[in-house]
Amino acid sequence: MAWFVQTLTILWSATAGKSGPEVKRDRPWYTAKVSPTFADMLGALRLQFWDERLSGMSGDEEDRTKLREFLKNWLAAGR
């Protein structure tokens, strides 16, 4: 099952994932990375998933934008 889910994540990243946002990670020791890791792909998938889920919130637009950005990056980074 894990192999299947990993394969789906990689296929999604190769097709639809390239056009979406990337997760902002604070990892100063990993600056020479050339291609995305599986964790990057999974984070981008989570980021787009949460972006869709949070886009229907109500309230002040500025507050929603700040909250949405914080939550998206926090959840997608898998902290």
pLDDT tens figures, 64-79:
788 778 877 877 876 5
d(C-alpha 16, C-alpha 2), whole Å: 21
Give the percent of the chain with pLDDT over 70. 90
Q: What is the rounded average pLDDT of the residues 28-55? A: 81
Angle between helices 38-54 and 2-15 (to 10 degrees): 70
- Find all residues with CB under 8 Å of 43, minimum gap 6, and list them: 22, 23, 25, 76, 77, 78
pLDDT at 3 over 90: yes
pTM over 0.85? The answer is: no
d(C-alpha 4, C-alpha 14), whole Å: 15
